[in-house]
Amino acid sequence: MLKIVLVGRPNVGKSTLFNRLVRSDKAIVNNKPGVTRDRKYGRASLVDLNFILIDTAGIEDSFEAKTVNQSKSQTLFALEDAQIIIFVIDGRVGVLPVEKMFAKSLIKTNKSTIVLVNKSEGGNGLVGLSDSATLGFDHVIPFSAEHGEGLSDLYDYIKDLIEFENKETHKINNLNTHKKKSSLRIGIVGRPNTGKSTLINNIIGHKRLVTGVEAGITRDSIEVSWNYKNNPISIIDTAGLRRKSKVINNLEKDMVNDTLRTIKFSDICILLVDASKGIDKQDLSIARMIIGEGRGLIIGANMWDKVIDRNTIKDEIFNQFKISLFQIKKISIIFLSGLQSQGIEELFENALDIKKRLSIRISTGKLNRWLTPIVEDNPPPLYKGKKNNIRYITQVNVRPPTFVVFLSSPDNLQSSYKRFLAASLMKDFNLFGLPLRIMYRKGKNPYTDK
């Protein structure tokens, strides 16, 4: 089984993360640094991923020196034993010199490495996110081991790296076995009785899910495997999401939590709405929830076969989502009929396109060559007569594409200019329809010497 090792300074939250993924209190957690001394192994799982997780002692300034210290020897052994490394840093403290030095030794191992910026909840936890660019790794995740924030991003990265490791193993062993593609996870969500189960039954070609005219038949999230043009897809049917004020019994609360979990661990969510009845406030609330999780979003305007004045209804739907979901430009809206199997091909062509663009990574050089003329032609407005210099931009994450802009005074950058930068970035790099994230930080170019 694949092995993943947790490394980092003392007291950055490695053991807390270990316990969360292993689902036990196997590792002692305490605010006192250096509690973990040996390496601990545990069988961990994250959604459908299973692996061996190794907790290690904290790194120190003398880590690279020859030493007989048993804790350091255990950590070195764990690094050799594992195929994937999770390098945990404290987001509230930022990157320290010992971590920069340790990062260089990790790069030399030539192993897949994820930088986990732990304790990132709240504004103070974002210091490490901007500093993390100096470590030299592509995969950076803002995280909270205590609260479970960032688990969906960690799942995405580990899934990709496991597939990469498997591919490399096949190469080494000179196997001719065809590598199976990873499944695209698509959650079908929406209000009760919008036709989710009926749509899935017609997609896969048989009655896999129970359907009926009454609302609330589906209770558990049910995953169905399917194949679209040689692309394996996992389609997840979910319970309908009613307004929070109407959810009163424990059963429905559990159903809602199950649906929210599906949203969190899906690659793309298809929000199914009843086009024949128009858009409800709850539809917009669910859409914002999906965007907030950074998942790809497609609006499925279902029951299109029941609509009579199609041009008018189509314009109304486009306008409502354009106004209410202004943070996403040109959102994908597919008009379909689950009952009559209309629009299904267009639905999945859009899903494959969004999956590909969610993982887009733009080099730092290309981003800054783009930024320079943008700022020169349209400089930020003055604040109290002073210039607000935009110095640098870099991408720190994918799924969704996440960027950090460094400037002299982020607190004083007008919202209108932020919207201008986001719109320009979407247009010039074809990021339309994606839940783009742009953070603004005070500071200089992180790749230059201070």
Task: For residue range 243-298, list pLDDT tens digits in order.
Answer: 766 666 676 677 788 888 889 889 999 999 999 998 999 999 999 999 988 899 99
* 435 contacts 152 by C-beta, under 8 angstroms: no
262 or 129, higher pLDDT = 262
205 or 301, higher pLDDT = 301
Task: Tell me the average pLDDT across 68-73.
Answer: 56
| Position 35 pLDDT exceeds 60 | no
* 18 contacts 53 by C-beta, under 8 angstroms: yes
186 or 252, higher pLDDT = 186
How does residue 138 score in pLDDT terms, banded at 50, 70 and 90? confident
Task: Tell me the average pLDDT across 337-363.
Answer: 92
25 or 441, higher pLDDT = 441
Place of tokens 């019994």: 249
Lowest mean pLDDT across 68-77, 196-205, 296-305: 68-77
Q: Does the pTM of the predicted model rise above 0.85?
A: no
Lowest mean pLDDT across 220-224, 355-359, 395-399: 220-224
Lowest mean pLDDT across 93-107, 217-231, 354-368, 372-386: 217-231
Share of the chain above pLDDT 70, in %: 81
| Position 157 pLDDT exceeds 90 | no
Q: Quick one: pLDDT at residue 56?
A: 83
Q: Quick one: pLDDT at residue 28?
A: 31
Q: Quick one: pLDDT at residue 26?
A: 41
Q: Quick one: pLDDT at residue 448?
A: 53
Q: Quick one: pLDDT at residue 64?
A: 43
Q: Quick one: pLDDT at residue 450?
A: 45
149 or 51, higher pLDDT = 51
How does residue 29 score in pLDDT terms, banded at 50, 70 and 90? very low
Task: Tell me the average pLDDT across 350-370.
Answer: 92
Q: Which segment, 37-41, 60-64, 104-108, 325-329, is predicted with the most confidence on average?
A: 104-108
How does residue 379 score in pLDDT terms, banded at 50, 70 and 90? very high
Q: Quick one: pLDDT at residue 352?
A: 95
Task: Tell me the average pLDDT across 392-404.
Answer: 89
Lowest mean pLDDT across 62-71, 84-93, 312-321: 62-71
Q: Quick one: pLDDT at residue 142?
A: 85
Q: Quick one: pLDDT at residue 25?
A: 46
